[in-house]
């Protein structure tokens, strides 16, 4: 009932921004976990795998929790003071399904940020301050869960602190990921490499094998078979050759 009353007392703009941020987070945050795990993978593959797996597992139920917030808002707009709506809200939020979603969300995403923060610190891809700022989101969120029922103001303070730490810690990660991607692209272009589609590789090989004694066949076979390069990210590239 306290949550229904809080939604009823808040303005439409506040409730709208709250729900919009949750909906946006349900799409963006799982992607951010993948990006962080990718950076950690270079130096600590086990930490990247464990942290990335926990993060994805933790953020998967987040959409159900967003729907829970939307349901609370709709009940508040209908007049949440009635006993029937209050009983429905209590049974919906305390049943086994929502409890499983909540526990998986809490344990998964909170543990993920600790593991990935340690991995980022070990990989030295960002500054130590940024890694530990990202890791501090876990105790801040635990403090939010512990205080929000006792003091709405204190809970709001910890929630804002959590969001600030998450954003501040994620900015260096995003910068490194974008910089690394652009540098890799420039390196491939400067060395004259281009990506070939699977059908093009196959067609080149067939043409080469059908004319093994010709100079054209030799030149076609060379970039297809011996010019193949496997990069660290597992994608295949082959060196481009200029036709005579």
Concatenating the DSSP letter of every residue in 153-202 gives HHHHHHHHHHHHHHHHHHHHHHHHHHHHHHHHHHHHHHTTEE---HHHHH
Q: Cβ contacts of residue 201 below 8 Å, gap of 6+?
A: 224, 238
- Give the full edge-to-edge strand order of the sheet including 193-194: 193-194, 236-239, 228-230
Predicted confidence at residue 207, as pLDDT, reads 58
Same domain, 150 and 118: yes
State the DSSP H helix or E strand holding residue 238, giving kind and residue range, or none if neither: strand 236-239
Report the candidate in 235, 233, 237 with the shortest Cα–Cα distance to residue 201: 237
Same domain, 223 and 158: no
Spatial distance between the Cα atoms of 72 and 69, rounded to a whole number of angstroms: 5
Predicted confidence at residue 5, as pLDDT, reads 66
| 169 domain-assigned | yes
Single pTM value for the model: 0.65
Same domain, 138 and 221: no
Same domain, 136 and 58: yes
| 126 domain-assigned | yes
| 244 domain-assigned | no
Low-confidence ranges of the chain (pLDDT < 70): 1-11, 80-82, 149, 181-244
Instruction: Give the strand pairing for 193-194 and 228-230.
Output: unpaired
Predicted confidence at residue 219, as pLDDT, reads 43
CB atoms within 10 A of CB 78: 12
Task: Give the domain extent around 81.
Answer: 2-187
């Amino acid at each position: 009932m306290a949550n229904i009353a809080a939604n009823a007392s808040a303005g439409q703009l506040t409730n709208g921004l709250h729900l919009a941020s949750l909906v946006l987070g349900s799409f963006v945050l799982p992607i951010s976990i993948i990006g962080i795990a990718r950076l950690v993978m270079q130096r600590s593959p086990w930490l990247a795998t464990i942290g990335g797996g926990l993060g994805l597992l933790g953020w998967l139920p987040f959409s159900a929790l967003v729907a829970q917030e939307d349901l609370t808002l709709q009940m508040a707009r209908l007049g949440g003071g009635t006993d029937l709506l209050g009983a429905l809200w209590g049974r919906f939020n305390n049943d086994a399904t929502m409890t499983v979603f909540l526990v998986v969300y809490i344990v998964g995403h909170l543990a993920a940020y600790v593991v990935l923060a340690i991995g980022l610190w070990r990989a030295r891809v960002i500054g130590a301050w940024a890694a530990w700022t990202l890791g501090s989101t876990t105790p801040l969120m635990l403090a939010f869960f512990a205080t929000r029922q006792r003091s709405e103001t204190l809970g709001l303070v910890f929630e804002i602190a959590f969001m600030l730490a998450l954003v501040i810690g994620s900015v260096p990660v995003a910068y490194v990921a974008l910089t690394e991607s652009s540098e890799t692209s420039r390196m491939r272009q400067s060395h004259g490499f281009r990506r070939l589609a699977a059908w093009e590789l196959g067609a080149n090989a067939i043409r080469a094998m059908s004319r093994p004694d010709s100079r054209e066949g030799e030149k076609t076979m060379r970039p297809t078979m011996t010019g193949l390069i496997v990069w660290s990210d597992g994608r295949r590239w082959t060196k481009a050759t200029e036709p005579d």
